[in-house]
Amino acid sequence: MDKVYISSPYRGNEAVNLEKARWYSRFAAEQGVIPITPHIYFTQFLRDSVPEERDMAMRMNEQLLMECREIWVFQGYGISLGMQQEIRWANEAGMPIRYFDERLVEVSNGGIKEKEDMVSVEEGKAPWQYDQGAKIHNR
């Protein structure tokens, strides 16, 4: 199985963004690839709010990214600073980049809006709030 790097926001509402990252990872796994989603596990032992620890995580992210076949960018509400860096690394390496919206539909990268920091919407039922046993479908 090929490894695919999952790029999605962490900052903003970390709890909601981690839930989304799990959703995106599950989606990738169901597509037959191994999702590499560093912010799910690095945040278990590194603090994003401490600059030295964030820098360490970003260096590790780059190494993990280079071991992947391609990067999948889940842009939702825009592209965070960390995601911008991951996309730059992928471009420099000539790696394929695929973009997906919040509904897990692949989209063109032409409409991306870059944002300084990400803020997640918490209201209403979100697509990443799923039944653990439910199968994910690319809608």
CA quadruple 131, 134, 137, 139: dihedral sign: negative
pLDDT score at 78: 80
pLDDT single digits (tens) 99-132: 999 899 999 864 444 443 333 333 344 444 444 4
pLDDT score at 128: 41
pLDDT score at 64: 98
Strand (E) or helix (H) holding 35: strand 34-36
- Closest residue by Cα to residue 82 from 10, 134, 17: 10
pLDDT single digits (tens) 16-38: 999 999 999 999 999 999 999 99
- Closest residue by Cα to residue 91 from 3, 7, 2, 35: 7
pLDDT score at 130: 41
CA dist 85 and 27 (Å) reads 23
pLDDT single digits (tens) 57-92: 999 999 999 999 999 999 877 889 999 999 999 999
